[in-house]
Structure 1
Amino acid sequence: MTDQPEAKPIFIQGETRAAGFFVGKIRRSGFMITLKAPKTYIREKNILDSAGPLIAEIGQNALIIGGNTALALTGKHLLPSLDDVGVHYHVHTFEGECTAAAITRYARLVRETGADCVIGIGGGRVLDLAKAAAEDGGVPVISVPTIAATCAAWSALTIIYDEEGRYAFPRPLQESPLLVLADTAVLASAPARYLKAGIADTIVKWHEAEPNAAGRPDLSLSIGLSVSRLALDLLDEQAVEASQAAGSGAITPAFAETVDAVIALAGLAGSITQGNPRVALAHSIHNSLTFLPATHGSLHGEKVIFGLIVQFVLAGKTLQEINELISFLCELTLPVTLEQLGIGGDISVQAAKIAESVDIDPEARERLAFEVSVPLLKEAILAADRYGREILASRAVSIS
Structure 2
Amino acid sequence: MRRAFISPAKYVQGEDELLNLGYYVRTFGESALLIAHPEDVARVKAKLDATAGKFNITFIESGFQGECSRQEVARLQAIAKEQRCACTIGLGGGKAIDTAKCVAEGEALIIVPTIAATDAPTSHSAVLYTPEGAFDDYAYFKQSPSVVMIDTTVIANAPTRFLVAGMGDAISTYFEARATARSYSNVNAGLPNGVREGICGDAKGTKTALALAKLCYETLLEDGLKAKLSCDRNVVTPALENIVEANILLSGLGFESGGLAAAHAIHNGLTSLEGTHSYYHGEKVAFSTIAQLVLENADQDELDEVLSFCASVGLPICLADLGVDSISNEELQEVAQKACIPEESIHSMPFPITVEAVAAAIMVADQIGREFKKRKEA
TM-score scaled by structure 2? 0.86
Kept in 1, the 8 Å contact 2:62–2:79? The answer is no
Kept in 2, the 8 Å contact 1:110–1:134? The answer is no
**Partner-residue secondary structure (3-state), 1:143:** strand
Q: Deviations over 1:76-99 (max 9, x none)?
A: 102331133332222234454434
Distance 1:89 1:215, change over 3 A: closer
C-alpha separation in 1, matches of 2:38 and 2:328: 37
Q: What residue number does 1:212 align with?
A: 180
Instruction: Name stretches of at least 5 consecutive residues in structure 2 with no aligned partner.
Output: 186-202
Kept in 1, the 8 Å contact 2:13–2:150? The answer is yes
Would you say 1:353 and 2:338 are equivalent positions? no
May I ask how many residue pairs the two structures share in their alignment? Answer: 361
Which amino acid in the other structure matches residue 175 of structure 1? Answer: Q
Distance 1:47 1:172, change over 3 A: same
Kept in 2, the 8 Å contact 1:337–1:384? The answer is yes
Q: Deviations over 1:364-398 (max 9, x none)?
A: 8676333321111111111111111222222223x
C-alpha separation in 2, matches of 1:73 and 1:334: 27
Q: What residue number does 1:193 align with?
A: 161
C-alpha separation in 1, matches of 2:15 and 2:323: 36
Would you say 1:48 and 2:48 are equivalent positions? no
Would you say 1:237 and 2:215 are equivalent positions? no
Distance 1:392 1:70, change over 3 A: same
Q: What residue number does 2:235 align with?
A: 250
Q: What residue number does 1:7 align with?
A: none
Q: What residue number does 1:223 align with?
A: 208
Instruction: Name stretches of at least 5 consecutive residues in structure 1 with no aligned partner.
Output: 1-28
Kept in 2, the 8 Å contact 1:206–1:225? The answer is yes
Which amino acid in the other structure matches residue 88 of structure 1? Answer: T
Q: What residue number does 2:357 align with?
A: 376
Would you say 1:179 and 2:179 are equivalent positions? no
Kept in 2, the 8 Å contact 1:142–1:180? The answer is yes
**Partner-residue secondary structure (3-state), 1:346:** coil
Superposition pairs of residues 120-135 of structure 1, within 5 angstroms: 120-135=90-105
Distance 1:145 1:261, change over 3 A: same
Would you say 1:155 and 2:123 are equivalent positions? yes
Higher percent of residues as helix: 2
C-alpha separation in 2, matches of 1:360 and 1:335: 25
Distance 1:169 1:307, change over 3 A: farther
Name which of 269, 294, 301 aligns with 1:313.
Answer: 294
Distance 1:162 1:285, change over 3 A: farther
Kept in 2, the 8 Å contact 1:167–1:287? The answer is no
Distance 1:195 1:213, change over 3 A: same
Q: Deviations over 1:110-160 (max 9, x none)?
A: 23433221111111222112111211xx74111111111122221111123
Distance 1:237 1:95, change over 3 A: farther
C-alpha separation in 1, matches of 2:98 and 2:330: 33
Q: Deviations over 1:60-89 (max 9, x none)?
A: 221111123321111210233113333222
**Partner-residue secondary structure (3-state), 1:36:** coil
Kept in 1, the 8 Å contact 2:173–2:260? The answer is no
Q: Deviations over 1:160-216 (max 9, x none)?
A: 345665555432221211112111111111111111111121121110011122256
C-alpha separation in 2, matches of 1:45 and 1:393: 40
Would you say 1:388 and 2:366 are equivalent positions? no
Distance 1:156 1:261, change over 3 A: same
Q: What residue number does 1:282 align with?
A: 263
Q: What residue number does 1:62 align with?
A: 32
Q: What residue number does 1:26 align with?
A: none
Which amino acid in the other structure matches residue 391 of structure 1? Answer: F
CA RMSD of aligned residues (A): 2.6
Shift of residue 348 of structure 1? 3.0
Once the two structures are overlaid, the 10-residue window that deviates more, 140-149 or 334-343, is: 334-343
C-alpha separation in 2, matches of 1:290 and 1:362: 17
Q: What residue number does 1:342 align with?
A: 323
Which amino acid in the other structure matches residue 199 of structure 1? Answer: M
Which amino acid in the other structure matches residue 35 of structure 2? Answer: I
Which amino acid in the other structure matches residue 195 of structure 1? Answer: L
Higher percent of residues as strand: 1
Superposition pairs of residues 131-150 of structure 1, within 5 angstroms: 131-135=101-105, 139-150=107-118
Would you say 1:267 and 2:252 are equivalent positions? yes
**Partner-residue secondary structure (3-state), 2:111:** strand
Kept in 1, the 8 Å contact 2:261–2:347? The answer is no
Shift of residue 226 of structure 1? 1.0
C-alpha separation in 2, matches of 1:342 and 1:166: 22
Which amino acid in the other structure matches residue 249 of structure 2? Answer: A
Q: Deviations over 1:246-267 (max 9, x none)?
A: 1422111111111111222222
C-alpha separation in 2, matches of 1:250 and 1:112: 41
Which amino acid in the other structure matches residue 260 of structure 1? Answer: E
**Partner-residue secondary structure (3-state), 2:235:** coil
Would you say 1:116 and 2:86 are equivalent positions? yes
Kept in 2, the 8 Å contact 1:314–1:371? The answer is no
Kept in 1, the 8 Å contact 2:10–2:146? The answer is yes
Kept in 1, the 8 Å contact 2:117–2:282? The answer is yes
Which amino acid in the other structure matches residue 7 of structure 2? Answer: A
C-alpha separation in 1, matches of 2:306 and 2:129: 29
C-alpha separation in 2, matches of 1:247 and 1:334: 15
